[in-house]
Structure 1
Amino acid sequence: MATWITTPAELDTYRQQRPSRIGLDTEFIRERTFWPQLALVQMAVGDDILLIDPLIPGMPEALAPWLADESITKVMHSASEDLVAFKWTCGVLPRPLFDTQIGAALAGIGAGMGYQKLVQEITGVALAKGETRSDWMRRPLSDSQLQYAADDVEHLFALHDAIDGKLQALGRQQWLHDDGERLLASVANDEDRWPHLGMRSAQFLDAPAQHRLLRLLRWRDAQARSSDRPRSWILDNELAATLARTPPADAAALAKLFEQFPKAPRKLAGAVWQALSTPLDGEADAPLAMQASDSGKKTIKALQDAVAERSRELGLADGVLASRKHLESYLERRQWPAALAGWRQQELEARLQPLLPPR
């Protein structure tokens, strides 16, 4: 039976249990905003399940000490978006983190497994999926919403016990700790310095065009954050790529071009022109997205094969050790991507280094 928590004082009483771990999940809305709007926090504490209303004044502040207490392990599943919601609403990230999705991948149970599938795999319990697209901001929440929310944390401790036991047997607990810290760091420092590298179309642009694209995407990100609106509402990718590829001659030409795009930010035309036409500090040193040559494609294939072989030896699913994107970055820059630093580098470097062609 879950308990509906509507006052900070109620939440504080559960701190007296001095738990060594809590299970956490959230429900949030992010359809019309840049930042997630936290609508509900589910917390498992001992045998209790708390459904916490973060819309109550003072509740985010009451949650913060729970999240910040490093004597309490926070057990979560696929936590990345929940972490953003906590950072934005409570001003703190939950640490230390045990992400059961990451743990299942490192334990060889399966990569990218959803909560329901993992619960069934480990406990045999089949959970309903009926409220995934509910309106979690409405009050009161329905009985089916409350049950769904409670289910999302009820089995986290069972997952934690099973996965942690397997990781301990494999000597991989440090792997999970490192991956959790890397995830937390990525949320804490979430401004992408080179957002153009994440757009596939960038590889088809020459260097000046990629620099223009970088300017636009940096400006868009700043606008989205300050206005709390989705990036695509500020400037969509198609229009950004068009402006970067064939920049208008002046602000008037830009305004005319906007007439061809129904979603163009006409009211921001002046700011878009300023961003497009103003070079960034250090722009010339920005890494460029590159099309792979035939020889480069062969090298990537060789790197992938080496990663796949090591993955089989470790009993890991494809993509857990390294993605194609990470291998492309490694080939282009000859530096280990941050996502592969640590234990992944230790597992792969001796195998991948000899496969790199000379410069």
Structure 2
Amino acid sequence: MNYTIIKDTQALAHVCEKARLAQVVMLDTEFVRTRTYHPQLGLIQLFDGEQLVLIDPLEIDNMDSFAELLQDQSVMKILHACGEDLEVFQHSFGCIPNPMIDTQLMAAFLGHGLSTGFAALVNEYLSVELDKSESRADWLARPLTDKQLDYAAADVYYLLPLYQQLLEEVESKGWLEAVQQESTLLISKRLKTVDANNAFLDVKGAWTLNSEQLAILKVIAKWRLLEAQKRDLALNFIVKEANMLEICRLKMTSLKQMNEAGFDHREIRRHGNTLIDLVKQGVATPKSEWPDKITRLMDDPTYKQLFKRLKDEVKAVSESTGLATEFLASKKQLNQFISWVWLDDRSESNLPDVMRDWRKDILGEILNKQMK
């Protein structure tokens, strides 16, 4: 592999101008996300069949030409397992690759598991063994080692021939439109805006609280999300979820209670008094504004048997189509479907995944009949 490292605005503009003449461009990113709310971009890899470049965003003042390439409708962007890459692009450039296809999704339509890794596919389709030992490297450190650079370049160099083989198979089996639909669905899910007022619904264990306690959690969870975004810190580095739940259960209004509960002293020192004020604010919420108690599907006595019936139908469709069961409908997607029927009364404005696009035709209607 012969690759070029791009470190200035002019060189980047030249690369992007040439890349925009290609029909398809391979993209990947390397980033760090350990303590931060947003992923921290360290490197961008690009291969258009001729240019193999590693773009250093830490050195380049103006990345506008790259953002323009991302949004160029005439160039198909190819990525693998791109969920976090989409977040990186959105946070760093305010846009995402469009149009875009994910080769992990292509492989899923060819019978591979939904989470099949890039190295496994490259080994199977290209008979090349990739060294993935640098996957956890610090991509913000400089200088990057030769081993890191080689690793990064390989991720797009081999992506092109892999994509070409997958595309041929996907087209021959009639799945190309479905691949594009699934890529669009992935984008909509990954970039879904979190409503701070509903952040409490994403707290694991929130279902264990009663309505009054949820009123407190709603206030704290909103504050935690906004604080995490403002300071660019992972949510649990603001306040741990388990601690939030304990605060709400006991309606804690003293630092002594937090100490006795074993909270980290740094958390108490930094946010203790703020949390006390938030608890008081939550307690003052009028009863008419308390959130409803969160009910779990599995607590319904008919759920277990229904879920098994639906899972059996998914298995039957899996056997007839060759698609993996977890790709057709994961547990989360089946629960989303059940909620749609039980709680949303089959609302057309809030369709679950299995009742949209390609899934509806081969699976959704079958599942829907099981609910009548």
Give TM-score scaled by structure 2 length.
0.86
Assess if the C-alpha contact under 8 Å between 1:195 and 1:214 holds in 2.
Answer: yes
**Please, which runs of 5 or more residues in structure 2 have no aligned partner?**
none
User: Hey, what's the Cα distance between the residues in 1 that align with 2:213 and 2:8?
Assistant: 54
| Identical aligned residues as a percent | 29
Confirm or deny that 1:47 pairs with 2:50.
Answer: yes
Confirm or deny that 1:240 pairs with 2:244.
Answer: yes
Q: Look up the SS of the partner of 1:222 in the other structure.
A: helix
Confirm or deny that 1:229 pairs with 2:244.
Answer: no
Confirm or deny that 1:306 pairs with 2:313.
Answer: yes
Assess if the C-alpha contact under 8 Å between 1:210 and 1:288 holds in 2.
Answer: no
User: Hey, what's the Cα distance between the residues in 1 that align with 2:291 and 2:47?
Assistant: 50
User: Hey, what's the Cα distance between the residues in 2 that align with 1:127 and 1:113?
Assistant: 14
Q: Which of the residues 171, 174, 181 maps onto 2:174? A: 171
Assess if the C-alpha contact under 8 Å between 1:202 and 1:289 holds in 2.
Answer: no
| 1:199–1:130 Cα change, 3 Å | same
Greater Cα offset, 211-220 or 13-22: 211-220
Q: Which residue of 1 aligns with 2:222?
A: 218
Q: Which residue of 2 aligns with 1:344?
A: 359
| 1:103–1:217 Cα change, 3 Å | farther
Q: Look up the SS of the partner of 1:110 in the other structure.
A: coil
1:1-359 pair list within 5 angstroms: 1-14=2-15, 15-16=17-18, 18-191=21-194, 194-248=198-252, 251=253, 253=254, 255-259=255-259, 260-262=262-264, 264-276=267-279, 277-278=281-282, 279=285, 284=291, 288-334=295-341, 335=346, 338-340=352-354, 341-356=356-371
Q: Look up the SS of the partner of 1:34 in the other structure.
A: coil
User: Hey, what's the Cα distance between the residues in 1 that align with 2:45 and 2:60?
Assistant: 17
Assess if the C-alpha contact under 8 Å between 1:197 and 1:289 holds in 2.
Answer: no
User: Hey, what's the Cα distance between the residues in 1 that align with 2:202 and 2:105?
Assistant: 23
Greater Cα offset, 192-201 or 211-220: 192-201
| 1:146–1:119 Cα change, 3 Å | same
User: Hey, what's the Cα distance between the residues in 2 that align with 1:309 and 1:130?
Assistant: 39
User: Hey, what's the Cα distance between the residues in 2 that align with 1:320 and 1:282?
Assistant: 39
Assess if the C-alpha contact under 8 Å between 2:37 and 2:234 holds in 1.
Answer: yes
1:199 Cα deviation (Å)? Answer: 4.7
User: Hey, what's the Cα distance between the residues in 2 that align with 1:84 and 1:289?
Assistant: 30
Assess if the C-alpha contact under 8 Å between 1:53 and 1:59 holds in 2.
Answer: no
Assess if the C-alpha contact under 8 Å between 2:49 and 2:160 holds in 1.
Answer: no
Assess if the C-alpha contact under 8 Å between 1:2 and 1:150 holds in 2.
Answer: yes
User: Hey, what's the Cα distance between the residues in 2 that align with 1:113 and 1:288?
Assistant: 34
1:295 Cα deviation (Å)? Answer: 1.9
Assess if the C-alpha contact under 8 Å between 2:207 and 2:293 holds in 1.
Answer: no
Give TM-score scaled by structure 1 length.
0.89
Q: Look up the SS of the partner of 1:126 in the other structure.
A: coil
Q: Look up the SS of the partner of 1:319 in the other structure.
A: helix
1:266 Cα deviation (Å)? Answer: 3.6
**Please, which runs of 5 or more residues in structure 1 have no aligned partner?**
none
1:167 Cα deviation (Å)? Answer: 1.8
